[in-house]
Structure 1
Amino acid sequence: MNETRDRILDVALDVLGENPDAGMGDIATAAAVVRRTVYGHFPSRLDLIRTLTERAVAEMTAVLTDVNATGAEADAAWVEFIARVWPVAHRYRVLLALRRGEYGEAIHGLLGPVDALLADLVERGQDGDAFAKHLPAGVLSQVAYGVVFAIADNDLPNGARAATITSLLMLGVPETRATALVDERH
């Protein structure tokens, strides 16, 4: 039962990644199950989206908590976080599109733990003069992290590198420092 549920979720990510407006029938067809099976696991499309978001939040929170525990400088910790979360961000990039639509409030509410951890990291960077102070930490972290999802959504070659450098620039890290941090990581 869990295997079918997990397969439906994995297929849903692919289907919704191709078409964020895809319906439950499209997901059922792609998963090679009947619609009733999908609805048996997820009574509504919103339940499916919530579950996908919960999976993404759990994965991102685990990575961010682990990175924060290293005690590295905030800008280096950001680089490590983006490097480790890139596959997660790329896999769940459809949530950005869905966050702008009818499911925005539900997705935004579930992302609270990630948002809080990111804001803490940015605030630490602001306190240590690694990040700019022109915006509050919570807003600045969302701007920088939004860039990561935007680049993931465009599937650029060397996307992880581009996302990391661009997000560091958004945080106010000088370009030479941003590039050096990324090059040190690789």
Structure 2
Amino acid sequence: MPTESTRARLMQETRDRILDVALEVLGENPDAGMGEIATAAAVVRRTVYGHFPSRLDLIRTLTERAVTEMTAVLTEVTASDAEADAAWAEFIARVWPVTHRYRVLLALRRGEYGEAIHSLLGPVDDLLADLVARGQHTEVFARHLPPDVLSQLAYTVLFAIADNARSDKTLNTRAATITTLLLLGVPQPQATTLTDNQP
């Protein structure tokens, strides 16, 4: 008989697998249902609903996971004394690997779960806006748009590049970093230098 701790570990592993598979399935088709996710995860629907009582619960959990990862990176990057443009370049380089996993949230944010996702992504939005405001204050970022709008445009472009990177291998971290810096108003030579300085 499995022990209580073994059962708990197995349940957690199943839950994590469902979340990982859900990101893949929803990345291919944002309208995919719980049945499709269950099939792809090699479990029955009841198992998925046992962990996530509704599709909204599943998407909320995916969003919370994304927020945790991205706020951790942003908090660390913005705590440094680096100029805002260098901090942005570091943020893009470090967050690029997870953009492939969470790009689906951008599509879902425009759908029926938009309000829930938008509220959960609030901490990420606020940190991005603060970083852009810092760059505008020191004149390394353009000032033609408010910081919250400009940061969201650059962030959206990051996900657009990640979404197309699966079919075009030239769309990589370097392309994403340079493009978003250009959008923020950083001159191309400086954007290229900042990007090439990333490890």
Instruction: Work out whether the TM-score is over 0.5.
Output: yes
With the length of structure 2 as denominator, give the TM-score of the two structures.
0.91
- The aligned residue for residue 4 of structure 2 is none
Distance 1:110 1:87 in 2: 21
Provide the residue aligned with 1:20 in structure 2: 30
Unmatched 5+ stretches in structure 1:
none
Residue from 163, 166, 177 that aligns with 2:176: 163
TM-score of the pair, normalised by structure 1? 0.97
Bigger radius of gyration among the two: 2
Q: Is 1:58 aligned to residue 68 of structure 2?
A: yes
Q: Give distance in 1, aligned partners of 2:13 and 2:198.
A: 36
Structure 1 equivalent of residue 186 of structure 2: 173
Q: Which consecutive residues of structure 2, in runs of 5 or more, have no partner in the other structure?
A: 1-10
The Cα of 1:86 is off from its aligned counterpart by 0.6
Equivalent residues in 2 for 1:16-165, closer than 5 Å: 16-155=26-165, 156-157=168-169, 158-165=171-178
Partner of 1:123, secondary structure, is helix
Whole-Å separation in 2 of the counterparts to 1:184 and 1:74:
14
The Cα of 1:159 is off from its aligned counterpart by: 2.0
Shift of 1:101: 1.1
1:12-69 Cα shifts (integer Å, max 9, x gaps): 0111111111110000011111000000111111110000000000000000001111
Structure 1 residue runs of 4+, over 4 Å off?
none
Amino acid at match of 2:77: V
* 3-state SS of 1:149 partner: helix
Q: How many residues align?
A: 186
- Looking at structure 1, the residues matched to 80 and 95 of structure 2 have their Cα atoms a distance apart, in angstroms, of 15
- Superposed displacement of residue 103, structure 1: 1.2
- CA RMSD for the aligned pairs? 0.9
Deviation at 1:117, TM superposition (A): 0.3
